[in-house]
Amino acid sequence: MTRNPTTYRNLITARPWLGLTAAVLVSVAVAGCATRVAVRGNLPDSERLAEVVPGDMSREEVAEILGSPSSVTPFDSHLWLYISEKTETFAFMAPKVLERNVIMVRFNDKGLVKEVKKLDLSSAQ
């Protein structure tokens, strides 16, 4: 039983889109495995944070320098939190936290900055 060589040629020429489709599918599969980095929250830079001086600054001045806080604690309005997080996700795996920072700005009863504290992943519980 011999095969006709033109049959193979007809198969190749009849489906020119087959190679293109395979290439697109492979590139989509590879792109799905790419690492995605996401940054969320409000993290003022170190220079801006250094401008906040305890004892001298009001809430309005802090908001002007650092922006709006991510959170104001509900039971203690004297504490403002600036929270940020950087995560990395590979394909469909759970996100990995690369960096997490919390800046705590505490005010006294007069509304002036009492304390500025920066926390990161190493100080997390």
Which are the contacts of 51, defined by CB distance < 8 A and separation ≥ 6?
65
**3-state DSSP assignment of residue 28:** helix
Q: Residue 63: is it exposed, middle or buried by C-beta count within 10 angstroms (0-12/13-18/19+)?
A: middle
pTM: 0.67
Q: Which two tokens stand for residue 106?
A: 């505490």
Q: Which two tokens stand for residue 57?
A: 């600054």
Q: What share of the chain is helix, strand, coil (3-state, %, to 5)?
A: 35, 35, 30
Question: Tell me, what's the pLDDT at 91?
Answer: 75
Question: Tell me, what's the pLDDT at 1?
Answer: 56
More confident call, 35 vs 116: 116
More confident call, 8 vs 48: 48
Q: How many CA atoms lie within 13 A of 37 on its CB side?
A: 3
In the chain, what percentage of residues exceed pLDDT 90? 38
